[in-house]
Amino acid sequence: MTDIKLPKGTKDLFPKEIEKWHFLEDKIKEFYSRFMYQEVRTPIFEHSELFSRGIGSETEVVSKEMYTFEDKAKRSLTLRPENTASLVRAAIEHNFIEEIYPLRFYYIGPMFRYDKPQKGRYRQFHQFGVEILADDSAQADAELIFSANKFLDEIGIKGLKLLINSVGCKKCRPAYLKALRKVAKKAELCNDCKGKAEKNPLRIFDCKQQNCKKSTEKFPRMLDSLCEECTTHFDLVKETLDGFGIKYTIDTTLVRGLDYYTKTAFEIVSEELGAQDALLGGGRYDGLFKELGGPDIAAVGFAAGMERIILNLSDYHKPKIKKTIIIYQQPQFIKEAIKIAQKFWENGYGAFVEYSQKKMKKQFQRANKLGADFAVILGEDEVKNNHLTIKDMKSREQKTIQTRDLQKWQKEYL
Ligand code: HAM
């Protein structure tokens, strides 16, 4: 009788390595509660159609990598290759939009792709992902990217590079794809990419073959064909990232492997990982809710490969989080509000800015719903005089401090 071995592309985890998993999972929960995310868990298998419709039937993930099987009632089911489509399905099915606030979720769990195993690439791997639903603001994209970068930085991962791009929207992408197809059909490409030239020309940018890489150098780029709305959005993402003070590289070849993306796309790669260098990737997916039969809702998110993070892991700490909401009196004070929130997140404290509700009364209602401990209020006088009014949401006491004394206040009260 032959021995039964581990299936190819899977891993057994033993206590020493599990310590790192526990640390990483605890850190995800602690870190993302600072940004007011809540956990969701969806099933490990779903109806296959969810992924073919959600991710796109022409993608490698759907056409080549899915673990699909029929159950006893002849339903086609698939082990989830990713969690975004499942989260959107659950949000539509259980009416998250009306029921849960804030609409920010994270998940942690195994995903399955019939991929060629190598270092950092497995058939059963784990992702943690975060998603912001019902927020179409560029600030949400930038905050999400900032959080991803800060997360990896806080757990001590070195040699990080943040790549960003815009992949356009349903208004500007069709004309670009038409132009791309025309060029791709005439270009020198490997057989695989020749097949993609008509059906999915964007995927040619992902090919690792030297000849294809060389050919794509001359291909037109989505970034040069964006409509006004996508251009304005991307400019504001960059401006907000600049405000956060994080470095990024614009990579016009970054197209992502899943079809649901619109506007912002990004990845964080590690220079130490070799071929499988993407620690995390994500972007905006404003059309996915509608594609899956739901309302027209904008969303943005990312997912990180936990095995890849663990391969690079070194350091940690675990602070306890109190909730503070930053409230701005006038819409134009949103920039100041983000700056103040950044001083919380970077100093290790929890804060939340309501980007989609610009009325102060609404923001206070949201603060109550969130169970905030404190509200930092930015009114006209505060912004003009570099002051902050801080309200204790439990005792209702209010006091005004100088902005430069914020850290002193944080140390005393948080
Ligand atoms: P993805 O780029 O396909 O995006 O996967 C995200 C991350 O999962 C990758 O950057 C990588 O770290 C990890 N990963 C992917 N495949 C494997 C594998 N075979 N072995 C090990 N790690 C792997 C998504 O899955 C999207 N759902 C991300 C997203 C969320 N976009 C918006 N919201």
Per-residue pLDDT, 318: 45
Cβ(317)–Cβ(118) below 8 Å: no
User: Does ligand 1 lie within 6 Å of residue 82's CB atom?
Assistant: yes
How many other C-beta atoms are found inside a 10 Å radius of the C-beta of residue 239?
13
Per-residue pLDDT, 337: 97
User: Does ligand 1 lie within 6 Å of residue 78's CB atom?
Assistant: no
**Ligand 1 geometric centre to CA of 278 (Å):** 8
Residue nearest atom 13 in ligand 1 by C-alpha distance: 305
Per-residue pLDDT, 18: 87
- Beta strand 299-305 with 278-284 is antiparallel
In three-state form (DSSP H/G/I as H, E/B as E, the rest C), the secondary structure along 121-179 is ECCEEEEEEEEEECCCCHHHHHHHHHHHHHHHHHCCCCCEEEEEEECCCCCCHHHHHHH
Q: Which atom of ligand 1 is nearest to the CA of 115?
A: 19
- Beta strand 374-378 with 124-133 is unpaired
Per-residue pLDDT, 137: 98
Per-residue pLDDT, 86: 98
**Ligand 1 geometric centre to CA of 117 (Å):** 15
What is the value of pTM for the model shown? 0.89
Residue nearest atom 31 in ligand 1 by C-alpha distance: 282
- Tell me the β-bridge partners of 161: 269
Distances (CA, A) of 40 to 70, 132, 273, 287: 26, 13, 29, 21
Q: Which atom of ligand 1 is nearest to the CA of 256?
A: 2
Per-residue pLDDT, 15: 84
Q: Which atom of ligand 1 is nearest to the CA of 129?
A: 30
* Alpha-carbon dihedral 195, 65, 82, 190, rounded to 10 degrees: -30
Distance CA 126, CA 117 (A): 14
- Beta strand 76-79 with 124-133 is unpaired
What is the percent of the chain with per-residue pLDDT over 70, rounded to a whole number? 99
**Ligand 1 geometric centre to CA of 80 (Å):** 12
Per-residue pLDDT, 315: 64
What tokens were used for 73?
């009632």
Which residues 6+ apart lie within 8 Å of 200 measured at CB? 56, 58, 59, 259
**Ligand 1 geometric centre to CA of 233 (Å):** 24
- Beta strand 352-353 with 324-328 is parallel
Distance CA 322, CA 408 (A): 16
For the chain, list residues with pLDDT below 70. Answer: 315-320
User: Does ligand 1 lie within 6 Å of residue 312's CB atom?
Assistant: no
Positive/negative CA dihedral, 149, 153, 154, 155: positive
